Every structure is written in structure tokens, then in C-alpha cells.
Amino acid sequence: MVGDIVGYSTMMEKSEEKTFARLAACQGLISEKVGSFDGRIFNRAGDATLAEFPSPINALRCAVEIGVALAGTEGPDVEPLKMRFGLHLSDVAVHGDDLVGDGVNLAARIQQAAAPGSVWVSGVLFDHIRRNSPFIFDDLGERRFKNLSEPMRVYQVRGEIGAHRLQSAPTRSSSETTKRPSSVAIMPFRVSAGDEDQRFLAEGLSEELIVELGRFRRLSVASRSAVFALAEAKWDPVGVGGALGVRYVLDGHVRKIGKTIRVGLMLSETEAGSVVWSDKISRPFEDLWDVLDEMVSKIAATVVGRMEDASIVAARRRAPDNIEAFECLLRGIDHHRLGGVTDENAREAVKWFSTAIRADPNYAAAYAWRVCAASWLPEFDLEAGERDIRRALELDPCDPEANRILGFVALLKSNFDQAKSLSLRALEMNPTDAYMRARSAAVMTYAGEPLRSLSLLDEAEALDPLLPVWCIEERGVALYALERYREALEAFGRLVFQTYRSRLYSAAALIALDCLDEARKLANEAIAGNPSLTTTSFMTKEWYRDLERRNVLQERLEKAGLPK
């Protein structure tokens, strides 16, 4: 990570003494942030800082956090310092405490080209973080840099990604958790070297297994956000068991050869990591849905015994009429996982879901996922989205995602009772889905039941100790709605990183407690991370049944300095 202060030379010309003092304060803040993300500053040159990190996500978060923190360090009448950052991933040479090489030089070239106040990353680094990035990017295309023979693709951070279903951004790295009875984690299936183009199939099958196993009320299934977060670090079964509080871990390997699919399965217990059973399945690809059924039955039977009793199994979703539609759905979900990271991926996801619908016009899941993906785009048509999601529920009333999504459409239209009933119905269909429980908590707060929201969040955290930040921040929002402002500030303070929403609700709570200067600092930080943020744009996503509560929130944010 290479960063420097925008306009430093001009500031030095005007006042050397004052500029040196501001530089010292800025460097102190940078040192603090780099250390908090396990990084190391290996060189400084004037106003420039060069740092290395053990993970590209840490480097990215650090750069964004420095820019945001700078916005809150100056007084109300002083223009805050702005920095620009360049990030790159590469091998380097160690020279004493310093690092040298083309990788360092390229990071510096990217930083020099970056717009004031922005974070630019190389395509190499972007490829490593795009599957679990908490930020949205703009693709700046290919750029040429000095002493580099070929152009390199560059991306610019636009802002935070928000409450994306398939992005992880966990609230904590890991923690020893009490193991729940009859619990299992389905790790993302692997593909062979050279089969990276089949990754969508492997990860899609893993997610389908999680959803199908989630129907069993006596079975506790780790959430997809949690397992995908741990899979990046290649945890072993014992480590996964301790971090997620599960007794079993399923690993799998998928390969499609021509019209045949081969799946290798290995179920391990998490006390000693020993294998309980393993299996290999080789079937025609058109039998893929049957293969899923077979895997679900074997896992459920091993973890909690036979489950023929219908009262302990929620109604299952309707299977697609043809396997082509299912494959298109999995391709769409793969792009949707990256959809919030760039707009182009969201558009590609919508295309694949539309292709799935053409292949099977009665495939409910494809309609539901198309709405979910399209909602990330600036051109999203709410009326068309509502038609799609209602069509999905006509075709399959037992699809939990369709019920959840229509619940939020109802919320957008201020139909709070319908939003509540649909959210609760989605929970009944997938009782161990922690993300769904946390998003239902948000609905309850907006509908005027923040105490119920807190209860749902307790259940969600018990199910998933690695819930994404945008789920767990709902606790602070519920406490704010209950006017328990100090408790809300404490809840937001426990987040592993702050979102613009947590900062703004904290600012509103501080205004309620008559702490204007602290509130303005947080509002400035929120704007620094999301320059297009206004009260209008923010309040269009905060749908309270109680209009007075909504108006007071807006007034407090404007008092804190959020522009109208």
C-alpha cells in the first residue's frame, strides 16, 4: 500500500510549521491504522507512506479507513487532509527493513495516477479480494504505467457494498464457540487444478446443500457467509468446529467431464478431525438434482439420524424442469456473488437468470434471484421487480428467498404487516439461516417491534458467530429505535469495522445525547467513505412505520452535518 497527501507541496509553501504539525498527526494516524490491520510500514519519503500487509483485504480496509478517519480529525473550519492510495499484490525483495522491486514501484505508479482522495487497486489485487470485498468498485479499464511493458487493469473504490446476501465481511475473525448439537458446516466444494471454470458449479452445489439442509428443524447448519469466510483461510475441520460451533464438517470435490458429474464427499467430526464417512458419486449431469437429494439424505441421516417425520422438515423448493436452467442459475449466482463489487457483474448475473427463465419459464428460484441481482443496479425497476418476485411465489410458495425478497419489496411500499408476515414465513422455511434471521430483525425494527428484533439477532448470532457486519449492526439500530442511545453506541462500537450506516446512526444517537462535535466527526467520516451520501439517499433506505421517528432521525443527521 502506497499513499501520499494531496497538495502537500502547496501546503508547505503556505506554512511549513503548520504543515509539519499536520503531517506528524497524519503519520501517527496512519501508523495506528496500519498496525490495527496487522500491517508494517517499511518506508516513508516526505508525505508518502509505504506499507505491507499479510492479506490484500487488510490492505484495502486500511487504505479506506485512513481516508475516512482523516475526515474527522480536523476542526469544523479546517479543510481535512486528503490522501490517495495505490494497492498492488506481488512478490518483493527484502533489503534490511525495506522492501524493493517492481511490485513496490508499480504500487507507487498506481498511487501517483489515483484521483485525489481515492483508493486505486491493481487488477491482480482485485482478483484476490473480489469474492469477499466489503467495497464496491468502478472498473477504470486498462492503464499504462512507466516501465511496465503491458497495460494493467485498475479499479477504484466507490464505497461500501452494504447488505449483500453472498458477501461475507464477518463481524469477527473467529472465536471458540460452544458446539451446537446436530450441527454441520458445508465448506465450499473444491475443483481440480485447471478446472477453475467449474468453480461456479462447485460453490453453487455447496450453497444448494446449505439451503436444502436448512429445511431440517433439528439440524443446525452454518451460514454460507461464515463458511466462505473460513474457506479463504483453508481451515481444517477442528478449526472450523471451534470457530463456528459445529460438530461436523463436510468437504467436497466436484468435477464435470462431458455429460458426467463426479462428486467426492468427506464428512469429518470436529473433535479430532477424523473422517466419519466418505463417498464418491458419478452420475449423468442431467441427474444433478437427484445427486443433491442423495447428498442431503446421507448428511442428515449421519448427523441427526433418520428424518422421515414430516413435522421436522420444512416444505422443500420446487426442482427445475431441466438441468440447463439449474446450471444457468448457478452461473448467475456466481456472478451475483460479485454483483455488488462491480455493476457489470450484476448485469451479467441478471443475464444468466434470464437465460434460466427462458430455459424453464416455471423456475421460481430464477425469478427470485433475478430481482435480487437487479436491485443492485442504478437502473433497477421496482415495478418489474415486484412482478418477478410475485411470479416466483405463484410458482413456488415454498421458496424462502422469494418470501424474503418480497418482504423487502413490501417494506419499500410501506406495507409493514405484509413485510413482517413474509419475513417470518421465510424463517419457517429455513429455520437455521442466520442471515435471513438478521434481515428479518431489520424488518421488525422498521415495523415498530425493535424488542423482537433484538431477540431475532440473539438467535442469529447463536447460529452464526461470523455474521456479516451489516447484519450485526441491526442491534445498534434496534437499540436506537428503543431510544437506548448509550447502549446503541456501545453496540456499534463492538463492530470489527464501522459502516457508513453505523456511523450515521451513532451520529444521530450522539445528537440525541447533545454531543454535537462527536456527531459531526462521525458524519464527516461517513461522507468521506461515500462521497455521494445525503440525507435523501440515506432515508430512502430507512423505512420506519413511525413517521415521527423517521423525521427525527433525518433532523438529527442534518444537524450532524449530513447534506440534504
Q: What is the dihedral of CA 550, 402, 475, 66, to 10 degrees?
A: -90
Query: Is residue 172 a part of any domain in this protein?
Result: no
C-alpha dist (Å) from residue 2 to 120, 159, 288, 502, 556: 10, 19, 48, 28, 37
Do 199 and 156 belong together in one domain? no
Distance CA 344, CA 335 (A): 9
Query: Is residue 176 a part of any domain in this protein?
Result: no
Do 284 and 337 belong together in one domain? no
Question: What's the average model confidence in pLDDT over 165-187?
Answer: 66
**468 is in which domain, residue-wise?**
323-560
Cα atoms in the 13 Å half-sphere on the side-chain side of 2: 21
- Other Cβ atoms closer than 10 A to 389: 28
Q: Does residue 201 have a pLDDT over 50? A: yes
pLDDT of residue 161: 76
- Other Cβ atoms closer than 10 A to 544: 19
Do 73 and 194 belong together in one domain? no
Do 405 and 486 belong together in one domain? yes
Q: Is the pTM of this model over 0.85?
A: no
Do 143 and 193 belong together in one domain? no
pLDDT digits over 496-548, tens only?
788 899 999 999 999 999 999 999 999 998 988 888 889 998 998 898 999 99
The size of the chain, in residues, is 564
- Other Cβ atoms closer than 10 A to 175: 12
Copy the grid coordinates of residue 436: 435471513
Last residue of a domain, one of 270, 292, 312: 312
Query: Is residue 413 a part of any domain in this protein?
Result: yes
- Other Cβ atoms closer than 10 A to 254: 23
* Number of structural domains in the chain: 3
pLDDT digits over 270-302, tens only?
888 888 888 888 888 888 878 887 788 777 777
Last residue of a domain, one of 108, 125, 160: 160
The domain spanning residue 250 has which CATH number? 3.40.50.10610
Query: Is residue 165 a part of any domain in this protein?
Result: no
- Going by pLDDT thresholds of 50, 70 and 90, the confidence category of residue 309 is very low
The domain spanning residue 152 has which CATH number? 3.30.70.1230
Do 397 and 282 belong together in one domain? no
Last residue of a domain, one of 312, 347, 378: 312
Distance CA 184, CA 246 (A): 5
pLDDT digits over 314-325, tens only?
556 677 778 888
